[in-house]
Structures are given as structure tokens and as C-alpha cells.
Structure 1
Amino acid sequence: MTVEQIPKDFGVHPMTLFKWLRQADVDAGTKPGVSGSESAELREARKRIKLLEQENEVLRRAAAYLSQANLPGKGSTRS
């Protein structure tokens, strides 16, 4: 069996097989890179960061709104 025949037998593009082999080396620790588990963890962390940024924006807007609501209006008498 030749290297060219393997992707044909699996029904994938040769570059796909190359990427799988490269990722397997990274996952095994024989080559530098981001492992599959690290990649999944990174995706989850990015989702969490996005959610926290959205929550922070809501809180920032609420604080701005509430601070405007507490300002004295025209004709208000404050002691």
C-alpha cells in the first residue's frame, strides 16, 4: 500500500490525512502545538469570556441608567 493510496481508501483528501497525522503527533506530545483537549478547553474559555463581556455590558448600561435616574431633576430642592 502506498501513501497516496491511504487517503483514497479512507475516502478523504490527502491534506485531510496529513492534518490528522499532524494533530495525532501534537496530541501524543511528539510535536509542538495545541492538542485537541486544549483546543476544546480554549473554545469553552472563549465562550465564557464572551458571555462575561455581555453580562458586564448589561451591568454597565444598567449602572449608567440608574445613575441618571438618581440625578436631581429641574426644580428639585436638595439640602
Structure 2
Amino acid sequence: MHPSRWAAVTSIAAKIGYTPQTLHDWLKKAEIDSGKRAGVPTEMAEKLKVLERENRELRQANEILRKASAYFATAELDRRPKP
């Protein structure tokens, strides 16, 4: 038995070849994913990341379309009427 959680993590990490901080982070993530600790579960964080990327791409596409629309509208106004 170890005197503290950190002592246990440090002892186990040394035996399996990882840093104590890495093992501690894995434990926290596992506790969050299992509902034993408050936080955003891994699956939800991954979905959020995908949605944020899609949102950024859509905003960029909208900006490109807005600029293209303004460009073509200006070009249409600049055209001289044909006799």
C-alpha cells in the first residue's frame, strides 16, 4: 500500500516505463470517461473537435463565397451595355 495516490502512480509509472504525469493524466481521463470525475468525456471532446473544425471550414467557405459574390456583382455593374 502506498501513502498517497501520487506515490502509487510514481511507483507504477517507473515499473511500466512512463512518466508519473502521463500515468496520472491517463487515470484522470479514465475517471472522467467512467463518470467518477467531473469533466468532458473523451468521446464528447472528440465530437466537439470535429464540429469545431467543420464550423471553421464552413465559415471560411462562406467568406470565400461572400467575396466572390461581391466581386462578380461589381464586375456586372462595371460592364458597359452593348449597343
The one-letter code of the counterpart of 2:56 is K
The one-letter code of the counterpart of 2:18 is V
CA distance in 1, matches of 2:37, 2:31: 6
Query: How far does residue 72 in structure 1 lie from its aligned partner after superposition?
Result: 4.4
Taking only aligned residues, the RMSD between alpha carbons, in angstroms, comes to: 1.7
Moved over 3 A (4+): none
State the match for 2:5 in structure 1: none
| Alignment: residue pair count | 75
1:33 aligns with 2:39: yes
Higher helix share: 2
State the match for 1:64 in structure 2: 70
1:48 maps to which of 43, 50, 54? 54
State the match for 2:26 in structure 1: 20
TM-score of the two chains, using structure 2 as the length reference: 0.79
Residue identity (%): 33
Structure 1 gaps of 5+ residues are none
CA distance in 2, matches of 1:16, 1:31: 17
What secondary structure does 1:66 align onto?
helix
The one-letter code of the counterpart of 2:68 is A
